[in-house]
Amino acid sequence: GVKEYKLTYYTPEYETKDTDILAAFRVTPQPGVPPEEAGAAVAAESSTGTWTTVWTDGLTSLDRYKGRCYHIDPVLGEKDQYICYVAYPLYLFEEGSVTNMFTSIVGNVFGFKAL
The answer to pTM > 0.85 is no
pLDDT of residue 28: 93
pLDDT of residue 50: 59
Mean predicted lDDT score pLDDT of the chain: 80
Regarding the domain with residue range 6-107, which homologous superfamily does it belong to in the CATH classification?
A: RuBisCO large subunit, N-terminal domain (3.30.70.150)
pLDDT of residue 37: 94
The secondary element (H helix, E strand) that includes residue 23 is strand 20-27
Reduce the DSSP state of residue 108 to 3 states and report it: coil
Reduce the DSSP state of residue 73 to 3 states and report it: strand
Tens of pLDDT, residue by residue over 13-64, are 999 999 998 999 999 999 999 999 999 999 988 877 654 555 455 555 677 7
pLDDT of residue 55: 47
94 vs 35 pLDDT, higher one: 35
User: How far, in Å, are 26, 38, 115 from residue 60 at the CA level?
Assistant: 29, 24, 27
Residue 56 identity (one-letter amino acid): T
Contact 33, 6 (CB under 8 A): no
